[in-house]
Structure 1
Amino acid sequence: MVKAVIIDDEVNAQNLLEKTLERCFPNKFNVVEKCNSVDSGVHAIKKYEPELVFLDIQMPEKNGFELFKYFDVINFEVIFITAFNQFAIKAIKRSALDYLLKPVNSLELAEAIKKFDTRNKGNFAQKKLTLLLENLNVNDQQVSKIAFPTVEGFELLHSNQILYCKAESNYCCIKQISGHTKMATKTLKYVEEILPSNAFIRIHKTFVINLNYVVRYHKTNKEVELTNGEKLPVSFRKEEEFINAILQNN
């Protein structure tokens, strides 16, 4: 069985999550301890060495993110839990980590557990949580690297390395300024949401571009030319927004 720790200051939320795990995944998880604070959670993790921690973000004395400063090495996976769709969620997504909104939905829980079962462990957890803490301390314009989920695990890229993103069915092709491409196992809509909004804009149902690499706009053909010479279509619906963004960016 998978050893798990639940850290949440609300007893009802603890019990609901535990019962949902038992109902949806019988004989899969052993919740070794339920904690109501970061301090008690740290003690439980060091005592039981769980493989998975369910961690509430908003707690009275210390928020959930403070838990990680008590560990030199992170060798457990984390699924965050929050009652608010807040700014921190973008940082969590940018780090290829999972979160659940309260009250916990069994379908969303099942999806998060599915990812837990297939993801890489150990060092990857450490890298993702380190990236999360870096991105929590900066604003949207100064975002550190972004972790894009891939078939193999995840790819760390700085937003400045990205030329554009292209929809490929339920996946997203990320074209880098180096010429290399990476395939993210997320939709273009998802990727658009985690990119810095000051630098990236949707110009078409298929494309999100980095405004910093725009060379010119061909109004007649409704095409934008990028620094690598590629020309991408701008839809009629997106034209005005795109032109305004270019003017503001310069």
Structure 2
Amino acid sequence: MIKVVIIDDEVNAQNLLEKTLNKYFPNKFNIAEKCHSVDAGVTAIKTHEPELVFLDIQMPEKNGFELFNYFEVIKFEVIFTTAYNQFAIKAIKRSALDYLLKPINNLELTEAIKRFETRNEGSFAQKKLSLLLENLNVNDQNVSKIAFATLEGFELIHSNQILYCKAESNYCSIKKIDGINKMATKTLKFVEEILPPAFIRIHKSYVLNLNFVIRYHKANKEVELTNGEKLPVSFRKEEEFINAILQNQ
């Protein structure tokens, strides 16, 4: 059985999560302890050494992110639970970590558990959580690295190394300035949401880094990049694209 610690200041939320896990994943999880605070959670993790921690972000005395200050090495996976908080969610997404919005939906919980089960042993929990803490301390303009989920695990890419992103069905191809393509197992819409403001949607299939634009061919509705590639700009996105270019100068 997979050993779990639940950290949430709301008793009802703790109990609901435990009941949902037991209902949809019978005999799969052992709830080692349910905690009401970060301090209690730290003690529980050190005592039980769980494989998975469900961690509430918004708690009265210390928020969930402060938990990681008490561990030099992270040996457990984390699924965050939170009410809506756009800034925190964007940082979590950029770090290839999982989160569940309250009230927790059993279908979303099932998907998060599936992803947990398919992760490689000796996972990247430490790197992902280190990146999360880094992402929480920078503003959108200065995002340095983003963790893109891939079939193999995840790929850390500096946002200023990305030329553009292209939709590939339910996946997304990341084109880097060194000519290498990386395939992310997320939709273009998902990727667009975690990219910094220098990126803009120019077409249903493309999100572009404005920093690598050298000219726009209005007659052909094509944008030319520093590597010589030309990408289409849709009629619906043209005005927004031109305004973004002018503001980015």
TM score, norm. by length of structure 1 = 0.99
Tell me whether 1:126 sits opposite 2:158 in the alignment.
no
Q: Equivalent residue of 1:172, what SS?
A: strand
Paired position in structure 2 for 1:91:
91
Paired position in structure 2 for 1:246:
245
- Map 1:33-72 to 2 at 5 A: 33-72=33-72
Task: For 2:248, give the aligned amino acid.
Answer: N
Task: For 2:40, give the aligned amino acid.
Answer: S
Say whether the 8 Å CA contact 2:144–2:160 is kept in structure 1.
Answer: no
Report the Cα offset of residue 22 of structure 1.
0.2
Paired position in structure 2 for 1:209:
208
Say whether the 8 Å CA contact 1:77–1:121 is kept in structure 2.
Answer: no
Paired position in structure 1 for 2:195:
195
Say whether the 8 Å CA contact 1:200–1:209 is kept in structure 2.
Answer: yes
Partners of 1:206 and 1:247 in 2: how far apart? 22
Paired position in structure 2 for 1:224:
223
- CA deviations on 1:75-118 (whole Å, 9 max, x unpaired) are 00000000123211000000000000001000000000000001
Change (3 A) 1:121 1:39: farther
- CA deviations on 1:17-41 (whole Å, 9 max, x unpaired) are 0000000000000000000000000
Say whether the 8 Å CA contact 1:75–1:121 is kept in structure 2.
Answer: no
- CA deviations on 1:152-196 (whole Å, 9 max, x unpaired) are 000000100000000000000000000000000000000000000
Q: Equivalent residue of 2:124, what SS?
A: helix
Paired position in structure 2 for 1:113:
113
The runs of 5 or more residues in structure 2 that have no matched partner are none
Report the Cα offset of residue 122 of structure 1.
3.6
Query: Mean alpha-carbon deviation: is it higher for 57-66 or for 115-124?
Result: 115-124
Number of residue equivalences: 249
Task: For 2:66, give the aligned amino acid.
Answer: E
- CA deviations on 1:199-229 (whole Å, 9 max, x unpaired) are 0000000000000000000000000000000
Partners of 1:122 and 1:18 in 2: how far apart? 26
Partners of 2:156 and 2:75 in 1: how far apart? 19
Taking only aligned residues, the RMSD between alpha carbons, in angstroms, comes to 0.7
The runs of 5 or more residues in structure 1 that have no matched partner are none
Query: Mean alpha-carbon deviation: is it higher for 79-88 or for 64-73?
Result: 79-88
Q: Equivalent residue of 1:221, what SS?
A: coil
- CA deviations on 1:47-101 (whole Å, 9 max, x unpaired) are 0000000000000000000000000000000000001232110000000000000
Task: For 1:128, give the aligned amino acid.
Answer: K
Partners of 2:150 and 2:122 in 1: how far apart? 17
Report the Cα offset of residue 121 of structure 1.
4.1
Paired position in structure 2 for 1:186:
186
Change (3 A) 1:17 1:41: same
TM score, norm. by length of structure 2 = 0.99
Report the Cα offset of residue 143 of structure 1.
1.1
- Map 1:13-24 to 2 at 5 A: 13-24=13-24
Partners of 1:44 and 1:95 in 2: how far apart? 25
Task: For 1:221, give the aligned amino acid.
Answer: N
Partners of 2:106 and 2:37 in 1: how far apart? 24
Partners of 1:7 and 1:225 in 2: how far apart? 50
Task: For 2:181, give the aligned amino acid.
Answer: T
Task: For 2:241, give the aligned amino acid.
Answer: F
Please identify runs of 4+ aligned residues in structure 1 that moved more than 3 A: none
Paired position in structure 1 for 2:177:
177
Partners of 1:230 and 1:75 in 2: how far apart? 43
Task: For 1:36, give the aligned amino acid.
Answer: H
